[in-house]
A and B are shown apart, each in its own frame.
Chain A
Amino acid sequence: MKRKYPRNYERNEKYLERLYELACKLTSIPAVSGREDMGMQQLAELCAGYFDNYEITPVGSFIGRINCGKEGAKTLLLDAHFDEIGFMVTEICDGGFLKVVNVGGIDPRILSASEVLIHGKITIQGIFTSKPPHLQEEGESSKPMKLENLAIDTCYTKQQLEEIVKIGTPVSFRSTVERLQGDYIVGKSFDDRICISAILRALELLKGKDLPVNIAVQFSGGEEIGYKGATTSSYRIAPDYAVVLDVTNAYVPEAPIYRKGIKTGGGGSISYSAQTNRPLTEKAVAIAKENNIPYQLFAEPNKTGTNSNAVQTSRGGIPTVLISIPLKNMHTANEIVTLSDVLEVSRLVSEFALSFQGGEINVG
């Protein structure tokens, strides 16, 4: 299908296919916030080849480093969070049902009759219950839905279930990545795995180039429950500058008017905020312009709701830029992004890294 691409968008099937492949691999790894260890091995196997060395922190972050080999070189940190929203088992009930609490922000409206994976001794499937109409009270459908009124049906007996699941067992959404029209794709946990894809793709673009800075990458844990991984791994890395990559809510019908500035297909959204560094942000915007990379601007003065503040306030302060990939249906099993935005963000990140001539820039 033909569609209009943003200014200067270079459509390259091979690159888009590569990003799609990365998205599929990355979103298939389970890592509910606080239990990132469940998928860390898989993540490390997928990413190790990109780095000179890597380590895994006690707070669920993966850190990889690429040294540029230049004396006195500065270090640029690239951050995307590895954890995903999900649930935790609180009760194993008669009939093989599980009661759960949310880990991170979950909309109870999308759960009824949806599918999940329960990561117990073995991984099993589950389905969120939906109350049949004959059990609903008059007027119930106009009342708010609550997670506590739902349960997960495992289709095992309680006895069988007790062998597999314990209180505290993590649960994740179950969903596959699928292509939609144009370059749009749908899947779970694009928040924030799609940004991990963008970083890996950026590193592929940088391969063989003469790097002016050392690059440190953190795929941080615990973002959805208070930026825990980013806080601790930025401290450990002690970078000089940072780029945080996350997703942002794109405009959809009924969203606040100011969201109209953020569209899927318009490129990465660069944030102005007290939680990011303005001179470094201006530099990112300038680099996008110079390289004809489409971008959008977003203003979120106080809080960005991302790792940017945790990174920026690490140690004695680290100038930080926030670039976001526009996304629809955030925190559901069917998040939607367009690969063209992911591609443009990966280009912007690689050009940004290459722009540190002499390793230093003036960030005011």
Chain B
Amino acid sequence: MLDRLKNYCNCISPSGCEDEIRELIINDIKDYTTSYEVDRMGNLIAFKKGKKTPTKKILLSAHMDEIGFMMKYISDEGYIYFDIIGGIDPRVIGGRRISIGKNKTTGIIASKAIHLQKANEKGICVPIEEMYIDIGCTDRISCEKVISVGDYATFQPNFEALGDNFIKSKALDDRFGCALLVEIMQKELEYDTYFAFPICEEVGTDGAKEIAYNFRPDIVIVIEATTAGDIVDAPKARHACDLRSGAVISHMDGGTIYDKQLVEFVKKTAEENKIKYQIKNVIAGGNEASAYQKGASGARVIAISAPTRYIHSASNVVYNDDLFEIKELVSALLERGFENA
């Protein structure tokens, strides 16, 4: 799973430009699915026949897109002004390297040297509209040969093992979910299952809205990465979740109050299979479950999440064993089926 996760994380596929990741996923699933399709908006949906056909339509979802940047303006001096795609804390942007467009041109988000800062600028984060990207061009014309207004970018690919069995990368949110769905799809399934890879989650869960309308699932399980606040000096009561503490099950987040019976069903399945899990203790984050819940005539939804530090930055951090606990949990749920859930 880790090799696959690395390839997925290293794609440059922010919201609205998911081509690269979609091609990779299709390549990985085409020999294992019963059928798959890419809808007119770019969402990828696969169907895999199981041993049995359930009475309910079960859909697993992991969004393909990631946060990123879009090029807005090229100045006479050859610098590129930009906006963010999705939600990124301006504090994690300054001084980072990014990869721009199809050619993956390297750019640096410039940061004025500490020696040039006025006293009232010290330590104060520059607003995004005043930040600019340096690609090594010194005039507009040479820059326009490489970059066009509207080009997209992400943080530079940086997937790596770290510390005691941890992983660091951009875009673990939600390439982790994509990799997990593909792994699950490569095995025999007990029940017929749909697998959705929606686009544009980071800009308003748009892809999932379209899928909800077109496919009308009864039960949706969203696999995602969620923010973990277990950093030094943070009170335990505000961690939301902790790394090394297993799969995260949420009752509620910024977008959704999850189906009560499903939450209990997932907890019970985890306990019976001795799978490590934790309950999210802060209302934070959100995902495409909200779109499925209120799409068409509605679906029952649940989210199972990987606790992730520094989500929506260049360096998301996850604990390897947490990812495997989630894989176990999702496998156990699919094995059991949702007939009695």
Contact = CB atoms under 8 A, between A and B. Distances in A.
B92 interface: yes
A182 B139 CA distance: 12
Given A134-B284, A155-B317, A106 B231 contact: no
Interface of A: 1-3, 93-97, 99, 105-110, 112-115, 124-125, 127, 129-135, 141-146, 151, 153-157, 160, 178-186, 249, 252-256, 259, 263-265, 305, 328-334, 336, 338
B113 A135 contact: no
Most B C-beta atoms less than 10 A away, residue of A113, A133, A333:
A113
B134 A253 contact: no
20 contacts: A94-B232, A107-B114, A112-B91, A114-B95, A127-B168, A131-B234, A132-B229, A132-B309, A142-B124, A143-B123, A145-B124, A153-B317, A156-B164, A181-B142, A183-B136, A185-B136, A256-B116, A305-B115, A329-B113, A334-B95
Given A1-B142, A134-B284, A109 B162 contact: no
Interface stretch (B24-32, B103-111, B188-196): B103-111
B230 interface: yes
A145 B124 CA distance: 6
B136 A135 contact: no
Most B C-beta atoms less than 10 A away, residue of A96, A106, A153, A329:
A153
B97 A334 contact: yes
Contact of A107 (B106, B111, B146, B317): B111
A207 to B, nearest CB: 31
B227 to A, nearest CB: 5
Contacts of A133: 87, 89, 227, 284
Contacts of B132: 253
B315 interface: yes
Given A141-B89, A155-B168, 12 more contacts: A1-B145, A3-B138, A109-B91, A132-B229, A132-B310, A134-B238, A143-B123, A182-B137, A252-B116, A255-B116, A259-B116, A329-B110
A253 B137 contact: no
Interface residues on B, range: 35 or more
Contact of B114 (A157, A263, A330): A330
Contact of B123 (A114, A144, A181): A144
A130 B163 contact: no
Contacts, number: 212
B310 A155 contact: no
Contacts of B90: 141
Contacts of A249: 113, 115-116
Contacts of B314: 113-114
Contacts of B89: 112, 130, 133, 141
A328 B134 contact: yes
Nearest to A94: B232
A186 B282 CA distance: 40
Nearest to A155: B163
A107 B121 CA distance: 11
B240 interface: yes
A110 B77 CA distance: 23
Contact of B310 (A97, A113, A252, A330): A113
Most A C-beta atoms less than 10 A away, residue of B108, B158, B160:
B108
Most A C-beta atoms less than 10 A away, residue of B89, B114, B313:
B114
Interface in B78-124: 79, 87, 89-92, 94-97, 105-108, 110-117, 122-124
Contact of B97 (A146, A153, A186, A265): A186
Contact of A153 (B91, B110, B231): B231
B227 A109 contact: no
Given A144-B123, A157-B164, A181-B135, A252 B112 contact: yes
Given A113-B313, A155-B317, A254 B92 contact: no
B125 A95 contact: no
B126 interface: yes
A97 to B, nearest CB: 4
Contact of A332 (B95, B135, B309): B95
A327 to B, nearest CB: 8
B310 A129 contact: yes
Contacts of A182: 136-138, 142
A57 B194 CA distance: 69
Contact of B108 (A3, A186, A330): A186
Contacts of B284: 132-134
Interface string B284-327: 11000000000000000000000001110111010100000000
Contacts of A125: 160, 162-163, 168
Interface in B121-173: 122-126, 130, 132, 134-138, 142-143, 145-146, 158, 160, 162-164, 166, 168
A142 B108 CA distance: 23
A184 B310 contact: no
